[in-house]
Chain A
Amino acid sequence: MNIFQDTGRYCILMEHVFIKPDRWKMFFRQFRNELDKLGLQSLPIVLIISVFIGAVLTIQTKLNSENPLLPSYTTGLVTRDTLLLEFSSTIMCLILAGKVGSNIASEIGTMRITEQIDALEIMGVNSANYLILPKIVAFVLMIPFLTIFSMAIGLIGGYFVALFSDIITVAEYVTGIQYAFNAYYVFYSIVKSLVFAFLISSVSSYYGYYAYGGALDVGKASTTAVVNSSILILFFNLLITNVMLK
Chain B
Amino acid sequence: MISFSSVSKRYPGGQEALKEVSFGVAQGEFAFVAGHSGAGKSTLLKLIPAIERPTSGTVLVNGQNVGALGRSALPYLRRNLGLVFQDQKLLYDRTVYDNVMLPLAFSDHPPKEAARRARAALDKVGLLARERANPIQLSGGEQQRLAIARAVVNRPAILIADEPTANLDTESAADILAIFAAFNQVGVTLLVATHDEAMIGRHAKRVVRLAAGRLTAS
Genuine A/B complex: no
A contact residues vs B (CB 8 Å cutoff): none
